Structure 1
């Protein structure tokens, strides 16, 4: 590539009826100045491109990291949801089992209480029958011991 220094050092041979040297040198000076500006701009632009490429690489790395993080976050969220669902199902099943046990225990207790009630009722009926029988036998014994007619006679005497 041609550099501004190459243009500056370039010398042309002077021929018969050639160009005016001062005009050529003046034009070459302009070319050198513009070419130098263009070269410097080109160097600056190449540095900017290199910096932009570095930044682009960093952003691509960040993007890849963010995508990986997003994938991990989604997987974690799915795992949390699955675990929560399993825990929910476990708690529900456990609660249903406890409820069944409580109901079964309550039913057993009701059956036991009904049995106890029936037993006490039978005992009360037997006691009532025995007591009635006892009272009846005591009345009969009393009646036979004290004849009712005799008592009636005695009562009439006291009147």
Structure 2
């Protein structure tokens, strides 16, 4: 157990022959008590300051850990956002490619249908043209034959 200023102040020494001067010893002990009290106060103040500094240090360690955790979370979040953005971009690209392919397929189908319709119209036009030519030829033949018939009729009437 450490000695306190009160222990020093209350300490009684035996008196012996040819011992120390009692007044001088008491004055010295009083000086020691004062110095010890001062040192104890300073020690207590230093302990308080040390405790406060340790609390501050702990606060800064906690703050550092919080900042580190926040940084890790931010990095993870950024990575997740980046990954999600890449995934979404790939999805958009894939959907666009599929849509473009569908549009191309539709256009090709439309071209094929129109080509088929055009071919059909050409065939119908050829059939119509051939029929028209045949009809015109028949009409022409008829006209030519009717003209002959009328001349023959007129000639036979004139001969009669």
Same fold (TM over 0.5): yes
Secondary structure of 1:41's aligned partner: helix
CA distance in 2 between counterparts of 1:93 and 1:135 reads 61
Which of the residues 2, 18, 21 maps onto 2:20? 18
1:125 and 2:159 correspond? no
Q: How does 1:19-58 map to 2 (within 5 A)?
A: 19=21, 21=23, 23-58=24-59
Deviation of the 1:20 alpha carbon:
6.8
TM-superposed deviation, 1:16: 2.2
TM-score, normalised by the number of residues in structure 2: 0.79
TM-score, reference length from structure 1: 0.79
**1:9 Cα deviation (Å)?**
2.2
- CA RMSD in angstroms comes to 2.5
Q: Which residue of 2 aligns with 1:68?
A: 69
Gapped regions of structure 1 (runs ≥ 5): 151-159
- Provide closer, same or farther for how the CA distance between residues 137 and 15 of structure 1 changes in structure 2, counting only shifts above 3 A: farther
Aligned length: 149
